[in-house]
């Protein structure tokens, strides 16, 4: 996709703003959405405005040295592997540039936590890669996108920031811990076990905890080694009253490479569901056990199916996807 560049301000430091170039990558979402009625916060169309248009509505960003690129333009409920692949490669390319201090990615809220975790595991960046979004469209009477985007740029320039982060509603979360916890409120995200990293208050970042140390990156080589259609198929199933395993057997009949089960409590499973999952495991399907609870790990035991640890079901799916993709591409197993 053609890149569009915009530099704001004559110098890298203007009016006391921290120096450094920030690259903003647009992918669409509610932050770029529009509605016919300014009082309508739900009946809008996502991904209608380009990232350049979003910047024009935020005058303070004129004090920063910015560069923009429209990587995708979609509603994040429709996020796909092809966009993930393209986004990871563009982020990697910009991170390698010595003039770039950090990146910001505008995204929809629905699958933001999945994209954030994917990028963290693939790239494990030392520079900050900050995702941001909005719960209200750009045409709303009280839009939240402009402040979130301004905060994200501020965070991307903070020398203490690193890794993939979320700047949203004045809060900073890590890719590993963040989850969307509300369907409508403007403060829709929280960190598991209350592990938020910082608050952004009037352009100042108040750190509450050290930014997480970035681990080893899976790398982008495996992403490009095979076509998207050849990526492992990982599905999520859930334990609930009456779960009998029929969904697992249907998926097994279709052909699936891995299954993540969102168990109850500490990853507990009904007798029928566990039996079906063990059938899948015996057939060569990788099975990981997570929990449908909002927080807390699934403890491991030699008798139970493999645990996904503290990963949510959607993040466990990404971890299993990358594990199988890496193995498939012949890389050394972690």
Distances, alpha carbon 216 to alpha carbons 126, 141, 169, 213, in Å: 11, 43, 29, 10
Please state, in angstroms and rounded to a whole number, the distance separating the CA atoms of residues 294 and 192: 7
Q: How far apart are the first and last CA of the chain?
A: 34
Rg (alpha carbons) of the chain, rounded to whole number: 21
Q: ∠ CA(212), CA(70), CA(101), 5° rounding?
A: 40
Please state, in angstroms and rounded to a whole number, the distance separating the CA atoms of residues 70 and 105: 10
268 contacts: CB under 8 Å, gap ≥ 6:
239
Please state, in angstroms and rounded to a whole number, the distance separating the CA atoms of residues 321 and 319: 5
The H or E element that residue 101 is part of is strand 100-106
DSSP state of 45: B
Q: Which of 6, 14, 27, 30 is catalytic?
A: 30
CB burial class (10 A; 0-12, 13-18, 19+) of residue 253? exposed
User: Active-site residue 154, yes or no?
Assistant: no
Is the CB of residue 174 less than 8 Å from the CB of residue 204? no
66-101 burial, b for 16+ CB within 10 Å, e for fewer? bbbbbbbbbbbeebeeebbbbbbbbbbebbeeeebb
> Would you please indicate which residues are annotated as catalytic (active-site) residues?
30
């Amino acid at each position: 996709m053609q890149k569009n560049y915009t530099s704001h301000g004559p110098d890298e430091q203007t009016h006391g703003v921290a120096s450094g170039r920030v690259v903003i990558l647009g992918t669409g979402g509610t932050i770029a959405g529009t509605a016919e009625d300014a009082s309508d916060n739900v009946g809008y169309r996502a991904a209608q405005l380009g990232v350049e248009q979003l910047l024009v509505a935020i005058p303070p960003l004129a004090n920063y040295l910015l560069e923009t690129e429209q990587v995708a333009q979609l509603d994040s409920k429709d996020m796909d592997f092809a966009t993930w692949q393209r986004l990871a490669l563009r982020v990697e390319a910009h991170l390698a540039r010595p003039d770039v201090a950090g990146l910001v990615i505008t995204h929809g809220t629905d699958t933001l936590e999945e994209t954030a975790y994917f990028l963290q595991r693939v790239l494990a960046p030392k520079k900050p890669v900050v995702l941001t979004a909005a719960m209200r469209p750009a045409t709303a009477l009280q839009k939240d996108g402009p402040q979130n985007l301004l905060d994200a740029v501020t965070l991307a320039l903070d020398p203490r920031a690193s890794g993939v982060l979320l700047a949203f509603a004045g809060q900073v979360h890590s890719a590993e811990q963040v989850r969307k916890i509300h369907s409508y409120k403007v403060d829709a995200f929280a960190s598991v076990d209350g592990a938020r990293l910082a608050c952004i208050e009037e352009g100042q970042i108040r750190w509450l905890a050290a930014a997480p140390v970035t681990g080893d990156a899976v790398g982008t080589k495996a992403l490009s080694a095979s076509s998207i259609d050849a990526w492992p198929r990982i599905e999520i199933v859930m334990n609930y009253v009456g779960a009998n395993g029929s969904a697992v057997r249907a998926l097994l009949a279709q052909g699936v490479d891995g299954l993540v089960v969102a168990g109850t409590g500490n990853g507990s499973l009904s007798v029928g569901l566990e039996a079906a999952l063990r059938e899948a495991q015996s057939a060569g399907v990788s099975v990981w056990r997570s929990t449908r609870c909002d927080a807390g790990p699934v403890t491991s035991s030699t008798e139970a199916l493999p645990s996904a640890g503290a990963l949510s079901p959607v993040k466990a799916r990404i971890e299993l996807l990358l594990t199988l993709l890496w193995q498939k591409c012949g890389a050394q197993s972690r």
